[in-house]
Structure 1
Amino acid sequence: MHDCKPPSGAMNRWLNSYPSVEGCYGHLLLEEKADRDPNLAAALIPYFESAHRDAREHFAAQIGINLHPDADEDDDDDDAALLLYPRCLPPTARRGLFGEVMTGLVTEHFKFVGAHEWSIPIFLFRYHADVEKYLFDLARDPARVRAVFGRFGSDFLGVSLDSDGAVIRLIVGEAKWRETLNSSTVSNLMLGDWKRNRNTGERVRKGGVWFEINRDLPVPHGVRQLQRLLFECDRDGHAAAIVSLDKALALRNPVPIPRTNLIMIAGDGAATREPRTALIGWEETPEEYTSSNDLQVVELILNGGAALIDEIYDLLWAED
């Protein structure tokens, strides 16, 4: 289970926050302060290890690596260390995972639209099928280094619980990392890339975050994954949550659970960017958003974010 609280002091020293709420729309601009604390990565590592722990143990079992510190000395410790998730993943995969973990971190640390209390009982990283395949192959053939496809479904899922532990609201998130964030990059992310219609020759946008989030199911597949993980990992501690999710997932007469949609884009600011400048409008709900659910947008603007990501992921479970 994910059991690490956000490092609030480190977050406040690291980022300037500029929140706004207009009705059912919240926007949060986060900008990295000028001088990064050299101990920032160390402060973030416990949260990242907590987020990845379930998947790390699951993948190790699937590919046949013993994570126990008292494993037989005959085990090939050097090979095992190279294969430890998520440290061994290629850079692009690490950046995607960083965005997803940061989505959980900002959700638990900052106040969003609706002022709900959010928690992440467990992250869904074990359901990254291509990572499992990548690690399984790599353990048996070290030359099988390749790019990794992203995980299907929602990037992030959190819950708000009542006093009995039942789920009374969901927060479902999309996290996007780009090395440099500017208006054209964000337009492509949100609206989709330009494609040419074969019949008319007209250039049109295809896909994009707005398209995907507007058409998402009221209770997405990730909710079933979350319920299964809660049942497997903490059935007694989350009994009420499991039952409430089961009712929401019913095929006949489901019990609706209100939902907040979350979009987080993260990356370095462009060289020409002015401070306190948002790339997604904050004054009112973007016209491209047509869902009836509350919407929270987070823009995380870093300075040398790739170096921070590599520092964090290189140090995860460094004692191993």
Structure 2
Amino acid sequence: MHHCPPPKNELAHWLKAYGTIKDGNYGHLLLEQQNDPDNDLMEALRIYFESAHLDAREHFHRKIGISLHPDGGAAPVVEYPKSLPSKAHRGLFGEVMAGLVTEAYQHEFVGGHAWRVPIFLFREHDDVEKYLWTLRYDPARMREIYGRHGTDFVGIALGGDGEVVRVIAGEAKWRKTLTESAVASLLYGPKEKNEETGELEHNGRGIWFEMNRDTVIPHGLRQLQYLLEQRDPNGHAAAIASIDRAVLELGSPPARTDLVVITGNGAAKRESSETVIGWETMPEDYKAGRNLQVVEVILKGGGELIDALYASLWSDN
């Protein structure tokens, strides 16, 4: 389970927050780096990221037969998530950041709900298991990893009886540099040649397309339920039962907030407090009709931070 609270003091020193809520259904939060990462921040992030990855770490190590016991002898040659390629670390970083900002800045999100992330969904990634299994027996077999299908991120809000009353789910993306073209590709899909005009055009299969056609109950919520059943069936009994009733259509589905978190380095010509997604009104290409929360996390030297952070995870083990 994920039990680590977000390091709000360290985040406030690192990132400056600009938050707005429009028409009661659209929230935009810009988090802009204002100070270089210091030792306090890196230690706080290390603890949070270890908590976020712990379930998947235990799951994958058990599946491929690698002991995590401190008396198990020499440190494993292959381990999750450190042994994954750097591109995979960047994807994981973006997804953990979605949970981190949701928990840390929930009062600045649309609706002001008390969001919780009881567990992350990282074990739901078959290609990681295949990659680590092969790497264990052949350390030279390094390759890129296929992305995890389904919901990038899911969190829940609980009622007084412990039942799930609302879910927040959506897309979490990392890009090295958040240029206008890079963000457009995320939102509207990569460019492809139009056979009729010969021009390169976005294929329309980006974030907005995926959100607009997503199911009322996100698949990630069902995955979350199964993980809760395995890891904390008593502590989350009411939440588990409420999700089951919703899936089986024995009750109403929980209300939903859609989330988009885009993290990366600012473009070279970017001005301070400048956003890459409009904050004044709901994006017109978002058609799902639910509450929408957009978060932009603008960093400096984000790639170096990710490399240092993932190298530090379980470094004493």
TM-score range, shorter chain: over 0.9
Q: Residues of 2 paired with 1:126 and 1:143: CA distance?
A: 24
Q: Residues of 2 paired with 1:122 and 1:272: CA distance?
A: 38
Question: What residue number does 1:313 align with?
Answer: 310
Q: Residues of 2 paired with 1:66 and 1:256: CA distance?
A: 40
Contact kept, 8 Å, 1:180 with 1:268, in 2: the verdict is yes
Q: Residues of 2 paired with 1:102 and 1:275: CA distance?
A: 21
Question: What residue number does 1:101 align with?
Answer: 96
Normalising by structure 2, we get a TM-score of 0.96
Question: What residue number does 1:84 align with?
Answer: 79
> Residue 149 of structure 1 aligns to a residue in which SS?
coil
Question: What residue number does 1:213 align with?
Answer: 211
- Cα deviation code 1:183-224 (max 9, x no counterpart): 111111101112124466454422111111111111122111
> Residue 287 of structure 2 aligns to a residue in which SS?
coil
Q: Residues of 1 paired with 2:199 and 2:92: CA distance?
A: 36
In the TM superposition, what is the alpha-carbon distance from 1:164 to its structure 2 partner? Answer: 1.1
Q: Residues of 1 paired with 2:213 and 2:198: CA distance?
A: 26
Contact kept, 8 Å, 1:15 with 1:31, in 2: the verdict is yes
**Considering only aligned residues, what root-mean-square deviation do their CA atoms show, in Å?**
1.3
> Residue 296 of structure 2 aligns to a residue in which SS?
strand
1:262 partnered with 2:259 = yes
In the TM superposition, what is the alpha-carbon distance from 1:83 to its structure 2 partner? Answer: 1.2
- Which amino acid in the other structure matches residue 158 of structure 2? L
Contact kept, 8 Å, 1:160 with 1:167, in 2: the verdict is yes
Contact kept, 8 Å, 1:3 with 1:50, in 2: the verdict is yes
Q: Residues of 2 paired with 1:98 and 1:243: CA distance?
A: 31
Q: Across the two proteins, how many residue pairs are aligned to each other?
A: 313
% identical aligned pairs: 54
Q: Which runs of 5+ in 1 are unaligned?
A: none
1:40 partnered with 2:35 = no
Contact kept, 8 Å, 2:13 with 2:35, in 1: the verdict is no
Normalising by structure 1, we get a TM-score of 0.95
> Residue 123 of structure 2 aligns to a residue in which SS?
helix
1:58 partnered with 2:59 = yes
> Residue 265 of structure 1 aligns to a residue in which SS?
strand
Alignment of 1:1-320 (within 5 A): 1-23=1-23, 24-71=25-72, 73=73, 77-78=74-75, 80=76, 82-110=77-105, 111=107, 112-198=109-195, 201=198, 203-206=200-203, 207-250=205-248, 252=249, 255-320=252-317
In the TM superposition, what is the alpha-carbon distance from 1:254 to its structure 2 partner? Answer: 5.0
In the TM superposition, what is the alpha-carbon distance from 1:173 to its structure 2 partner? Answer: 2.1
- Which amino acid in the other structure matches residue 108 of structure 1? E
Q: Residues of 1 paired with 2:36 and 2:63: CA distance?
A: 42
Q: Residues of 2 paired with 1:219 and 1:200: CA distance?
A: 39
Q: Residues of 2 paired with 1:67 and 1:199: CA distance?
A: 57
In the TM superposition, what is the alpha-carbon distance from 1:144 to its structure 2 partner? Answer: 1.0
Q: Which runs of 5+ in 2 are unaligned?
A: none
Q: Residues of 2 paired with 1:260 and 1:236: CA distance?
A: 27
Contact kept, 8 Å, 1:103 with 1:173, in 2: the verdict is no
CA, structure 1 residues 137+254, in 2 after alignment: closer, same or farther (shift >3 Å)?
Answer: farther
